[in-house]
Amino acid sequence: MAASPDMAADDGDIFHPPVVVGPPTPGDRPYRQVEIYGRPVGEARSAEDVAEYIRRAGVPEPDLDDPDLVGWRGGDRTVWSAAD
């Protein structure tokens, strides 16, 4: 059974990891919006912030490099400004 186009993510992938970290915002204090299961949970200014949100959601030792857990949009865990 083929997936319908409305089921695909913006990048064409139908898989959505439970945690999605948005692209860095522009400005003097950039951050990345964090969503868990589609719900915004906060703004992260570091990879440690992302890990803390995931721990609060019940994952004691999150692997931020696991694509089955975290989807990074607009850069990986090392990108924290729009210019990086």
How many CB atoms within 10 Å of residue 44? 21
3-state secondary structure 35-81: EECCEEEEEECCHHHHHHHHHHCCCCCCCCCCCCCEEECCCCCCCCC
Give the position of tokens 């999605």: 20
Predicted TM-score (pTM) of the model is: 0.81
Strand-pair category, 32-36 with 70-72: unpaired
pLDDT in tens, 14-73: 778 999 999 999 999 999 999 999 999 999 999 999 999 999 999 999 999 999 999 999
